[in-house]
Each structure stands twice: as C-alpha cells, then as structure tokens.
C-alpha cells in the first residue's frame, strides 16, 4: 500500500507492483525494498543502495546516498541537512500507548459536539 499526500508519503510496499507504483509516484525513491508504515517527506531522495526497514521516517530534503549497500533498521529517523539519524530504542512504549488512548478518548468526547447530522427533509 502506498498513500501519497500533497507533502508527505506514507509508504508500505511489499510487492513488485507496489514498488513500481512507488517509483512512479515518488521519483526520488529508488530503494530496492521498503518495509511497512514508513513516512517519506517532501523532496527526500533515497539511493538504490539503501533498503528501508519498517516504521522509518525520512525527513524533508534528506539525501541518502551511501557508496555501499545499507539497510536502515526498523524505527530509524533520518533528519536534518546532513541526514543525521536516530533509532528508537523502544523505551516509552507504555507512555506512547497511554498518550494514544488519551487522544482517542478526547476525540470520542469532542467530535460528537461538532458533528451535526443533516436531515434530508430540510429540518
């Protein structure tokens, strides 16, 4: 699955057909394999010597062009003008789950207040 927004691409490519669709949609992405749920920002370029793992984030205008083959580990974030990188250690999973749960509760409470159903009879 490849979803492309105006400024951001969320990439999950597992088949050859998906890889071709990705190459046509994002001309700066030339990598031979892409994992699941990756985010590739605007004007990012990934050379054909890089294989992207899952849950990676590549920031805007980052260039990944190593001279040797490289595999980006899962949960890697590429950012900045010099393509600096960090890998999430896995710490904070419980806090992240709590934050997501609180956010979902907030949306459940807030959205019905602003969602007005329109009836077809004009009332």
Domains identified in the chain and CATH numbers: 2-87 (2.160.10.10)
DSSP secondary structure string for all residues of 43-79: T-EE-TTEEE-SS-EE-TT-EE--SS-EEEPTTEEEE
Distance of CA 17 to the CA centre of its chain: 19
The tens digit of pLDDT for each residue in 8-54 reads: 444 444 444 454 455 555 568 888 899 998 999 989 999 999 999 99
d(C-alpha 101, C-alpha 37), whole Å = 20
Q: Is 67 left (phi over 0), alpha (psi -120 to 50) or beta?
A: alpha
Beta bridge partners, 3, equal 10
pTM of the full structure = 0.58
The tens digit of pLDDT for each residue in 56-105 reads: 999 999 999 998 999 999 999 999 989 999 998 878 878 888 988 999 99
């Amino acid at each position: 699955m490849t979803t492309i927004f105006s400024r951001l691409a969320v990439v999950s490519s597992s088949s050859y057909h998906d890889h071709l669709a990705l190459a046509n949609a994002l001309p700066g992405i030339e990598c031979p394999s892409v994992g699941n749920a990756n985010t590739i920002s605007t004007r990012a370029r990934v050379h054909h010597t890089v294989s992207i793992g899952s849950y990676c984030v590549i920031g805007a205008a980052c260039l990944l062009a190593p001279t040797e083959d490289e595999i980006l580990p899962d949960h890697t974030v590429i950012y900045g003008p010099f393509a600096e990188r960090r890998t999430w250690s896995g710490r904070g999973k419980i806090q992240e789950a709590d934050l997501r749960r609180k956010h979902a509760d907030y949306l459940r409470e807030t959205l019905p207040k602003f969602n007005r159903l329109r009836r077809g009879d004009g009332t």
